[in-house]
Amino acid sequence: MAALRARTVLLTGSNRGIGLELVKQLLGGPRPPAWIFATCRDPEGPRAQELRDLASRHPNLVLVKLDVANPSAIADAAKIVEGKLNGAGLNLLINNAGIYAQVSLETVDSDEMIRTYKTNAVGPLLMAQTFLPLLKKAAQNSTEKGLSCSKAAIINISTVMGSIEKTPESFCKPVISYRCSKAALNMLTKCQALTYGEAGILCVALHPGWVKTDMGTQEADLTVDTSVRGLLSVLPVLSEKHSGNLLNWEGKVIPW
């Protein structure tokens, strides 16, 4: 399996589930990044205890307070990251933070739709905008040809539930606000790929599978460990031919 060679990585939603497991497996890899910026809304709270324990043992892991639905919080986080990088760029931005509510067409309301869009679609948009200078710097400083996660990349953690074509297969769980926000995230990924590719930045949406997390519940097919191992095996092989696509945790293309 190819190893991820990104030297600087930022992950949102890092205190539980897939985000936390990504941090653990990146730290335990054969060549851990020089810096891992793990963000969550409350790094000092009880739900971030495991992250704090990891940070106490790994000096390359930096915990950063961040709410992706809050533009000023994103700007504050960017200043912290830029300060730590000390002139270096950011190789890999993983937009993992997301929210999910069991709402149907009959029960969803405007507040729920807006709340979910702010986190699942607008958050990744603002993260990319704010961290773009650091991503561009990483791309400019790289000697690698083409596009890759080792050079500069935005990875949006999406879902097959954002695929319009695949909706009939999974509509037993309507989750309207989640589906619509992730379809918007998929469109955002395509637009980012067409725009940021010129600056040497790869943009891909990844579906981690149906995972046994708070969001996925214990009914899910995959363990968090299996999903994240899959994602980390896909990241190193991504190139310009994948930019703008939605892929699953095994690297297979999911139709829009």
The predicted structure's pLDDT at residue 62: 98
Is 2 inside any structural domain? Answer: no
Is 74 inside any structural domain? Answer: yes
Q: How confident is the model at residue 221 (pLDDT cuts 50, 70, 90)?
A: confident
Is 227 inside any structural domain? Answer: yes
Question: What percent of the chain shows pLDDT beyond 90?
Answer: 89
Is 70 inside any structural domain? Answer: yes
Q: How confident is the model at residue 214 (pLDDT cuts 50, 70, 90)?
A: low
DSSP class per residue in the chain: -PPP--SEEEESS-SSHHHHHHHHHHHTSSS--SEEEEEES-TTSGGGHHHHHHHHH-TTEEEEE--TT-HHHHHHHHHHHHHHHTT----EEEE---------TTT--HHHHHHHHIIIIIHHHHHHHHHHHHHHHHHHH----S--TTT-EEEEE--GGG-TTTHHHHTTS--HHHHHHHHHHHHHHHHHHHHHGGGT-EEEEEE--SBSSTTT-TTSSB-HHHHHHHHHHHGGG--TTTTT-EEETTS-B---
Tell me: the pLDDT tens digits for 187-210? 999 999 999 999 999 999 999 987
Q: How confident is the model at residue 219 (pLDDT cuts 50, 70, 90)?
A: low
Tell me: the pLDDT tens digits for 68-105? 999 999 999 999 999 999 999 999 999 999 999 999 99
Is 140 inside any structural domain? Answer: yes
Question: What percent of the chain shows pLDDT beyond 70?
Answer: 95
Structurally, the chain folds into a number of domains equal to 1
Is 256 inside any structural domain? Answer: no
Asked if 13 and 22 count as a contact pair (C-beta separation under 8 A), the reply is no
The predicted structure's pLDDT at residue 173: 84
The predicted structure's pLDDT at residue 168: 93
What is the span of the domain harbouring residue 160? 8-248
Tell me: the pLDDT tens digits for 147-183? 999 999 999 999 999 999 999 998 888 999 999 999 9
Is 146 inside any structural domain? Answer: yes
The predicted structure's pLDDT at residue 188: 98
* Residues sharing a CB contact under 8 Å with residue 126, sequence separation 6 or more, in sequence order: 68, 71, 74
Full-model pTM: 0.96
The predicted structure's pLDDT at residue 218: 63
What CATH number has the domain bearing residue 183? 3.40.50.720
Task: Output the average pLDDT for the chain.
Answer: 94
120 vs 218, which has greater pLDDT? 120
